[in-house]
Copies of this chain bind each other. A is one copy, B any other.
Amino acid sequence: MLYTESLGRLIKLFQKMPGVGQKSAQRLALYILQIPQPEAEKLAQAILELKDKTRYCSLCRNITETDPCPICADPGRDASLICVVEDPKGLLAIEKTKGYKGHYHVLMGNISPLDNIGPDEIRTRELLARVEQGGINEVIVATSPTIEGETTAMYISKLIKPTGVKVTRIACGLPMGGDLEFADEVTISKAMDGRLGI
């Protein structure tokens, strides 16, 4: 009764989006109400078009409109290097640094026994297959330093090691610009363990 039917419906759909609560959903829906009709049509169109045009790369599972994706198809990138990330967000985060010039492998999740996600639910088998095809020098595991990400990293290390290919893990430590005083104990311990000669 508080909202009209169509307003209530859109608010409910917006609320399903990650990080959008009841108040944000209401604000977003009222924004839609207030923009000109063509703008709303453009948004609805863009949502459908994204679903329609975007695929996952058959090699690395990156988001792409072409298959293989521009990264896998780029001859300028080092195909002997595979960076393993948990999802496309991780891949985008690393790409934004512009420092990495190898290939990727998107797992589409982390191992999480509590959520019934085992190694076979994420794309670990496909990773092993890529490594076994040869030509790979190093697998960099860049899953998040969470319990699930660490578990996944450990599993991948055990999975790949028998092939003789080097497996590395991105470093944990203090974030740049972070203050030692405010860092948690686990991060500081990791930073100490991971110290490098200067």
* Residues of A bordering B, CB below 8 Å: 1-7, 9-10, 13, 17-20, 24, 26-33, 37, 40-54, 63-65, 70, 87-89, 92, 95-96
Can you list 28 A-B contacts with CB-CB less than 8 angstroms, sorted by A residue number? Answer: A3-B92, A4-B54, A6-B52, A6-B53, A9-B46, A9-B49, A10-B46, A10-B47, A10-B50, A13-B43, A17-B28, A18-B27, A19-B24, A19-B27, A30-B88, A32-B51, A33-B50, A33-B51, A33-B54, A33-B88, A37-B51, A40-B50, A40-B51, A41-B48, A43-B47, A44-B44, A44-B45, A47-B47
A13 touches B46 (CB 8 A): yes
A42 interface neighbour in B2, B7, B13, B49, Cβ under 8 Å: B13
A47 with B46, Cβ < 8 A, contacts A6-B65, A53-B6, A54-B4 known: no
A28 with B18, Cβ < 8 A, contacts A2-B92, A40-B51 known: yes
> Which residues from chain B contact A44 at a C-beta distance below 8 Å?
43-45, 47-48
A95 interface neighbour in B2, B18, B27, B48, Cβ under 8 Å: B2
